[in-house]
Amino acid sequence: MSNMSNGGDKKAMRVVTVEALPTSVQLDLSKTALICIDFQTDFLLEGGFGDALGNDVTKVQRAIGPAKAVLDACRKEEILIIHTREGHRPQQKDITQHKRHQTDGCIGSPGKYGKILIRGEKGHDIVEELYPLLQSEVVLDKPGKGSFYATDLELILKAQSIETLLVCGVTTEVCVHTTVREANDRGFRCIVIEDACASYMEDFHEAAIKMVWAQGGIFGNVATSKQLVQGLLNSSE
């Protein structure tokens, strides 16, 4: 899969309004990207990393349906789509001792879908429902929780003149929140799609969502998948 199409073409401005918290948002679709964070087999299915740590993976599976609705709508509008995958090199030279200790040595150990969170293994890849389909969709491998850390995400976004990120993914309080905070510090506006994100712990999800739009939207805005899809539909009318 090629990660980028000929990205040099300038797109015409297409402005839509999306209902959100704390206020509705106007966004130019030509300067908007969707980032789908870590919808990987190891995080979402039984026998993977999340399950190995004792979590109920059905709680994060709730985000798949809403995320697919958002993904399909963004594909229709030809919005730049980026999929991230957290994981490590097969040689495992990029796993710090601290991270190994944090995860009780789980990373790299044999699992139902191969070595857990190791690139090239089935568990590291994206679940079927949200799998990249278009040649233009970017697949971004990252070694940490944030999508900007040790990746070329910022370069891609700036090269494509992106100003706003629509954010889906798991888990809300870890990889999603870390990415939103990184993006905020870099000057990108974020709209977190509440029901297209999920956590193994529902109270963590709720708290993380509130943190995004609190104090006038300190880290960004929050919308539901239905609100976003409706906003995109209005652009086509």
With H, G, I as helix, E, B as strand and everything else as coil, classify residue 37: strand
| pLDDT mean over 24-32 | 97
Q: What is the token pair recorded at 61?
A: 């599976």
Q: Is residue 1 predicted with pLDDT exceeding 50?
A: no
Q: Give catalytic residue positions.
A: 38, 142, 175
Q: Is the pLDDT of residue 4 over 90?
A: no
pLDDT digits 0-9 by tens, 98-151:
999 999 899 999 999 999 999 999 999 999 999 999 999 999 999 999 999 999
- Which tokens in the block code for residue 19? 């209902």
How do beta strands 32-37 and 164-170 pair?
A: parallel
Output the pLDDT for position 221.
98
Of all residues in the chain, the percent with pLDDT exceeding 90 is 91
Residue range 158-177: average pLDDT?
Answer: 98
Predicted confidence band of residue 9 (pLDDT cuts 50, 70, 90):
low
Residue 120, Ramachandran bin (φ over 0: left; ψ between -120 and 50: alpha; else beta): left
Which residue did the predictor score with more confidence, 234 or 120?
A: 120
Q: Residue 38 pLDDT > 80, yes or no?
A: yes
Residue range 178-231, pLDDT digits in tens: 999 999 999 999 999 999 999 999 999 999 999 999 999 999 999 999 999 999
Distance CA 212, CA 205 (A): 11
Rounded CA gap, 45 and 127, in Å? 9
Report, as an integer, the average pLDDT of 163-190: 98
Q: How many Å apart are CA 76 and CA 79, to the nearest integer? A: 8
Give the pLDDT score at 3: 45
Q: Mean pLDDT, the chain, as a whole number?
A: 95
Residue 154: CB atoms within 10 Å:
16
